[in-house]
Structure 1
Amino acid sequence: MSHKILIVDDDPHIREILSFALGKAGMETREAADGEDALAAIARSRPDLVVLDINMPRMDGLEVCRRLRATGDLPVLFLSSRDDEIDRVVGIELGADDYVVKPFSPREVVARVNAILKRAGRTPAVTGSEGQVAHNRLSLDTEAWEARWGGDKVDVTATEFQLLLLLASLPAKVFSRDAIIDRLHGPGFAVTDRTIDSHIRNLRGKFVSMGGTDLIETRAGIGYRIGACVGAAD
């Protein structure tokens, strides 16, 4: 069965280009011209991924992403009309899985959509008992793609789950940002260090609210590794 992709952009030309490129890649596409139409389309027929422009009338992409993250973890790929780092960082902190800056190559969009769907839909090759990876109070279910802290579910995006899984699978290893990018996206994939930092900050914020103050450890000048994961009260 082909993946269903919702393309949200107020520019009909961009929607047409992306619909053609994604359709040629074997995906089924739907279109929406603004944020309000996008939310209605998602409610009618939940897609597998949303390609979402940031700057739109009536309701911008950031607000759409904020509302989506309040109710679930539908994968989101942002389109930004300018190379604005603030837009990208805010988008990632809201829970977007990735972003593409306009003008873009349709091939790049297809590649990034495929990468997100692959992360969201496959069972990662890691060691663990029956699809479980555990590190003290943190547990990851690689079959259901669920993260838990002390048994309580924490809503994370596909990219956030993959990042947590990478760190927790090798708890003694410190990963540089470049190593994290290579493991999550493949060598040569155009993702900035700030994007990884934003994902880390986003994850920390989600777990802090549940007492997970030691989820990820920063090693200055090197990178990140999984923390003790015992919680502030332990």
Structure 2
Amino acid sequence: MTSVLLIEDDDRIRLSLSLALEDEGYTAHAVATAEDGLAEQRRVAAETVLVDLMLPGMDGFECIRRLRRDDDVPIVVISARDDTHDIVAALEAGADDYLVKPVAVKELAARLRALRRRGRAATTTAPAVRTLAFGDLELKPEAGEVRLHGAEVRVTRTEFRLLCELADHPGQVLSRQQLLQRVWEYEVGDERLVDVHVGRLRHKIEDVPGAPRHLVTVRGLGYKLQP
């Protein structure tokens, strides 16, 4: 049974979401603070973490950053804060997705199923390991490796899937909606998910993130990986 860690300080929301997740077939581990959440994740290694931003003590942004330091677990923010600054800040901290309260349980369950499928795909090993080279940038999709100048680059699961999707279409422009459908498996979604993850990738695979050579923006159309 898939385990989910819920970090939410509102007792009513924490209880209702925990029960709803268990009804959907998940094992829910629920805590009220970021500090307890970090400790619980070390203990149970949940397959997905749900984080509120407005937490007592350590806030959700710092909680995400600390989770992301040594864990590539999928992180979904669930928050009443819906302005662009907060959404972008949470994604830049390391979250994979963002849902605004009140959360529809069916939508949350669909997002979690998509995360699980993406996780399984990322760990599936093909018989032959390909190397896709883009100058000094190399990807091994089946081995889950990214290298720049020969040194391994640490990326999250979502960043890796995004990079592989672009690498499978070298020089081809993919729109934000195409990337949402292929990487996040969302028919309709927030395009800021794509933009922020592209920005995070550029800081990892570009020598000068502000003047990218590999992951290029085609204004008004989308993104491409230069062959």
> Which TM-score applies when normalising by structure 1?
0.87
In 2, distance between residues paired with 1:207 and 1:79?
29
CA displacement 1:55-100 (0-9 Å, x = unmatched): 1101111101111222231210011212221111111111211010
Equivalent residues in 2 for 1:49-64, closer than 5 Å: 49-64=48-63
In 2, distance between residues paired with 1:60 and 1:106?
24
Equivalent pair of 1:7/1:32 in contact (CA under 8 Å):
yes
Equivalent residues in 2 for 1:2-151, closer than 5 Å: 2-123=1-122, 130-136=128-134, 137-151=136-150
In 2, distance between residues paired with 1:73 and 1:11?
26
In 2, distance between residues paired with 1:13 and 1:65?
23
214-223 vs 129-138, which moves further? 129-138
Equivalent residues in 2 for 1:176-191, closer than 5 Å: 176-186=175-185, 188-189=187-188, 191=189
In 2, distance between residues paired with 1:66 and 1:100?
18
* Letter matched to residue 51 of structure 1: L
In 1, distance between residues paired with 2:214 and 2:47?
29
Shift of 1:213: 4.5
In 1, distance between residues paired with 2:5 and 2:122?
24
In 1, distance between residues paired with 2:63 and 2:207?
23
1:201 aligns with 2:199: yes
Q: Name the SS of the counterpart of 1:139 in structure 2.
A: strand
Shift of 1:144: 4.3
Equivalent pair of 1:21/1:107 in contact (CA under 8 Å):
no
In 1, distance between residues paired with 2:35 and 2:123?
35
In 2, distance between residues paired with 1:32 and 1:78?
15
* Letter matched to residue 39 of structure 2: A
* Letter matched to residue 206 of structure 1: K
Shift of 1:185: 3.0
Equivalent residues in 2 for 1:144-183, closer than 5 Å: 144-183=143-182
Residues 129/121 of structure 1: CA separation in 2 closer, same or farther (3 Å cut): closer
Q: Name the SS of the counterpart of 1:14 in structure 2.
A: helix
Report how many residues are paired: 224
In 1, distance between residues paired with 2:37 and 2:102?
22
Shift of 1:141: 3.4
In 2, distance between residues paired with 1:33 and 1:57?
8
Shift of 1:209: 5.8
Equivalent pair of 1:97/1:116 in contact (CA under 8 Å):
no
50-59 vs 65-74, which moves further? 65-74
In 2, distance between residues paired with 1:149 and 1:88?
29
Shift of 1:227: 2.6
Residues 130/210 of structure 1: CA separation in 2 closer, same or farther (3 Å cut): farther
Runs (4+) of structure 1 moved beyond 4 Å? Answer: 209-213
In 2, distance between residues paired with 1:120 and 1:209?
28
Equivalent pair of 2:122/2:157 in contact (CA under 8 Å):
no
Shift of 1:23: 1.6
CA displacement 1:163-205 (0-9 Å, x = unmatched): 101000110310111111121233533x222221111001001
Q: Percent identity?
A: 36
